[in-house]
Structure formats: C-alpha cells, structure tokens
C-alpha cells in the first residue's frame, strides 16, 4: 500500500509532535518551518514553544469533563510513553514535579477544596496549615490555603524540542527550512490533491496538509477559503537574582503558581517569574514592572532582586471558539493550532487526534 504523503506546517511543539506521531506510524512526513533547523534558545525566538516555561497543569485543571479535560487527561496518559521513546535516544527528559497553587482569596480556595474532592485519586491534596504558614511567611502576606499536585509540574521546552527533532531525523522526516507562501488545491494531481508554495518558489504536492503554525494559520487558510480568528497574546518572563540568602529555594516545588504568576527555581539563588499578560505582539515595560512587583504584592526580597534575564513569547488564542483548534476542514486539510497556554501539555493528545483522522 502506498504511503500517505503528509506535510506539517509549523515547527513548534504542536507541529513537531504531530510530525513525530505521523512518522512513528510510518507515514512519509515533511515538516516545514523557517527555524526548523535552528538551535532553540529561549531568548532568540519569540514563538510560543521556545519562550514557554513548560508548565504542565494537567490533573489540576479545574474541570473534570468536556473536551479540554479529555485532552489533558489523555495527554497525561501519553506523556510517560513518549518520554520513554524520546529518552531511548540518550536524552534525559523528565517532568519535574510537584506543582503547588496558593490562594489568598476564600472563593478561590473553596474551588481548590472542591477540586481536591473530585480528583483526590490523581494525587492532588490540600496543603496543611504549617505549609500554608510557611508560604505566608515567604510572601509576607496572608495566604488562606493551597493545593499540591504530585503529577503536574514542568518539562524543559528547549530540551524537549531538541529531543523531538533528533527523533524526527532518526525516523527520516524531511525537515524543510523555508517559509510557506500559500497552500492551494492541486486539481492536476488526484493522488496529491494539495500543493504548498514555499518562499523559495518550490512547490510541494501532498496528499495531506496539517497546519500547526499558530498565528500564521489564519493567512494560510484564508487562501483556500477558510476563516479563522486568532488573537496574539503576549507573555513575559523575568529571571531574578536573589541577592539575600534564600537557601529555602532548594525546597521549592517544580512550579509554584500564585496570583496568576508561575515561579520556577532555576538554581539556589535565581528564580524565574512568568505570566501571560497582555494582548498584542510588543511587550509593555509597565507589565514587566507589574510582574516583578507581583502587582503590588511582592515581598521585599523579590522587589530588591535584580533582573538577570528576560524574554517574551507570543501565543495564539482562538477568538470565538475553544482552544485548541482541532479540525479536519476537508479531505486532506487538517488544523492543529491555537493552543494558547497549553501547547506543550496537550501536544500528545492533539497529535494523536490528527493521526486518527488521517488513519
């Protein structure tokens, strides 16, 4: 039987994972992205994946039904399998755990209590009084309560992308380092009814196209008569150097989430703070200042900390429909985009969905 020929447009986590899934099923796969062969570093690219903190809030997701929960639930099942495969290539990928959420608002804490009752079998527990007091002292504010998830946490997005790309090479995926100008129906070839025009004017004829190109998806789909509304949402990240003795950073969880900010310890004296803050594509310095000051709640040790590094990333949030956008628009044209905050977490389930449609 003839192999299906598939082109995946977009080299972020959604595109790379989709290509990985399809190649693992023995399809002939191209992955097209102008940066597909460029070494990934946080501060060199501002797409969603390379700027991401890699936070994975799967089990701790507030809902326990619906598509969003099903994608998280399935991905949490798939991640151990994929890590085993990727680590067989001498990688050292792990999901660092646990993840803690804190609250200083009664209404929010009551939702945590409900969540723990619904999902206690997923290793989710409320924090005890002594732990709550500990965090109240750290942040110098009255924290009412918190919740800990022992299976949620984070994965290093840079190491993850590098590992997937190495696996793609082993599977013989054709990595094309070009931009896509347009896609169109190829009426002259019944076997490969879709065509892609690259920036170098080369044309690729395909049986299937999977679009995973975030905000660029709108432009590509418009050319073939499909509308899609994606809003750019910008997140900012700062890495602060804590000058005073903060030995307790050694005991911090993999991810601490408080007041909408993710805190990640990068070493014993440095802390990463990140949040999705604002619409648009240009970072606002006022928003960065508010991030550092925790909107007026930062304790003195954070306020006095110097910013060692900073970067930002742009995410695509669907306008008028749920995130992510997973669709088969017509035979041979599929979309896996608009993941907003959860691209890394739900990448396995989204890639599996695409493969199921093609199969």
Percentage of the residues of the chain whose pLDDT score is greater than 70: 95
Same domain, 162 and 307: no
Asked whether residue 32 carries a pLDDT value surpassing 50, the answer given is yes
**What is the side-by-side strand order in the sheet with 333-337?**
174-176, 28-32, 5-9, 208-211, 333-337, 325-330
Q: Domain containing 241: what range?
A: 99-152+231-318
129-158 pLDDT, tens digit each: 999 999 999 999 999 999 999 999 999 999
Same domain, 237 and 168: no
pLDDT the model gives residue 191: 82
Per-residue DSSP letters for 218-233? HHHHHTTT----EEEE
Provide the CATH number for the domain around residue 14. Answer: 3.50.50.60
Same domain, 249 and 313: yes
pLDDT the model gives residue 165: 95
Mean model confidence pLDDT for the chain? 92
Same domain, 289 and 313: yes
pTM (whole model) above 0.75: yes
Same domain, 189 and 338: yes
Same domain, 71 and 191: yes
Same domain, 23 and 118: no
Same domain, 39 and 128: no
- How many independent structural domains does the chain possess? 2
pLDDT the model gives residue 39: 67
Q: In Å, how far are 80, 154, 307, 327 from 158, measured between CA atoms?
A: 18, 12, 21, 28
């Amino acid at each position: 039987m003839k192999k299906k020929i598939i082109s995946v447009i977009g080299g972020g986590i959604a595109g790379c994972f989709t290509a990985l899934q399809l190649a693992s099923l023995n399809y002939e796969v191209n992955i097209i992205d102008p940066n597909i062969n460029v070494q990934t570093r946080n501060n060199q690219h501002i797409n969603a994946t390379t700027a991401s903190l890699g936070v994975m809030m799967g089990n701790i997701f507030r809902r326990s039904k619906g598509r969003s929960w099903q994608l998280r639930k399935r991905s949490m099942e798939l991640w151990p399998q994929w890590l085993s495969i990727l680590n067989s290539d001498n990688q050292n990928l792990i999901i660092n755990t646990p993840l803690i959420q804190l609250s200083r608002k009664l209404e929010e804490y009551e939702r945590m209590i409900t969540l723990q009752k619904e999902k206690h079998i997923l290793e989710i527990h409320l924090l005890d009084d002594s732990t709550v007091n500990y965090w109240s002292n750290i942040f110098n504010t009255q924290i009412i309560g918190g919740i800990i998830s022992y299976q949620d946490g984070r994965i290093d997005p840079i190491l993850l992308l590098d590992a997937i790309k190495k696996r793609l090479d082993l599977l013989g995926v054709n990595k094309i380092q070009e931009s896509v100008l347009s896609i169109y129906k190829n009426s002259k070839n019944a076997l490969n009814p879709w065509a892609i025009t690259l920036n170098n004017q080369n044309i690729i004829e395909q049986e299937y196209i999977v679009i995973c190109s975030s905000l660029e998806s709108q432009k590509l789909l418009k050319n073939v008569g499909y509308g899609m509304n994606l809003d750019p949402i910008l997140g900012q990240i700062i890495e602060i150097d804590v000058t005073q003795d903060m030995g307790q950073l050694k005991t911090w969880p993999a991810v601490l989430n408080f007041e909408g900010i993710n805190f990640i310890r990068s070493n014993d004296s440095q802390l990463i703070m990140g949040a999705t803050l604002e619409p648009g594509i240009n970072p606002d310095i006022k928003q960065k200042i508010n991030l550092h000051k925790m909107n007026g709640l930062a304790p003195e040790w954070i306020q006095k900390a110097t910013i060692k590094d900073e970067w930002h990333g742009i995410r695509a949030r669907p306008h008028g429909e749920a995130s992510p956008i997973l669709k088969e628009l017509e035979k041979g044209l599929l979309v896996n985009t608009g993941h907003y905050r959860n691209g890394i977490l739900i990448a396995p389930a989204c890639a599996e969905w695409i493969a199921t449609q093609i199969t």
